[in-house]
Amino acid sequence: MNIHNLDKTNSILNHFISEIRDHEIQKDSMRFRRNIERIGEILSYEMSKELNFQSSAVKTPLGEKVIPKVADDLVLCSVLRAGLPLHQGILNYFDQIENAFISAYRKHSSPEEFEIKVEYLASPSLENKVLILADPMLATGSSLAAVYEVLNKTGNIKQVHIVSVIAAQQGIDFITNHFPKDTHLWVATVDQQLNSKGYIVPGLGDAGDLAYGNKL
């Protein structure tokens, strides 16, 4: 696993992370979604540096310039529902990307115990494509691993880039053992703890609820 933690360098990204964490500012769901989207844009830019490029000539009104452009076939798959604003942020930069959606939720047998259920998948072929997997909160890592297990059965995936906003160290350690070695993880920031319910501490709370409202 190649881990790229963007908070190692101070940048404007810190402002967006600070706003999604802030217990007052995050109550504005439109601003919360927009900040996640902006973080997705920044992560996309950084991730693009690891893709394969091929040069082609562009004609300007005054001449010609050879410019390297992304050559990989990309599929962006987001984990519903919290992944949607992050999905939009990535889509803002990779406008020709193919899209996939997958559901994963925690089915609790007690407040502390749960298993991950993957029930819905809408995806193009992943054969020989670069898969960008978007999940804003990498907590235990079990949903990402479950999602990848399902996606991996659908085709021969060329490479995986995981895009996440906040990751717990425990989740990073877990997915390292469940994804191919050449996988890249792009994360805006890393927290050290998980609580007994599998939430990231200090984290930000429930990303899906903050973006789209409480669920039953």
The residues binding ligand URA (CB under 6 A) are 82, 137, 139, 199-200, 203, 206-208
To ligand URA, the closest distance from the beta carbon of 144 in angstroms equals 11
To ligand URA, the closest distance from the beta carbon of 12 in angstroms equals 23
Q: Of 97, 100, 98, 90, give the one whose Cα is nearest residue 45.
A: 90
Q: Of 135, 37, 138, give the one whose Cα is nearest residue 90.
A: 37
To ligand URA, the closest distance from the beta carbon of 138 in angstroms equals 8
Residue ranges in the chain assigned as alpha helix (H):
13-21, 29-48, 84-93, 142-152, 169-176, 207-212
* Residue with Cβ nearer ligand URA (94 or 199): 199
To ligand URA, the closest distance from the beta carbon of 207 in angstroms equals 4
According to DSSP, the β-strands at 184-191 and 193-194 are: unpaired
* Residue with Cβ nearer ligand URA (100 or 210): 210
* Residue with Cβ nearer ligand URA (130 or 188): 188
Tally of CB atoms within 10 A around 139: 26
* Residue with Cβ nearer ligand URA (49 or 215): 215
Phi, psi of 168 (to 5 degrees): -90, 145
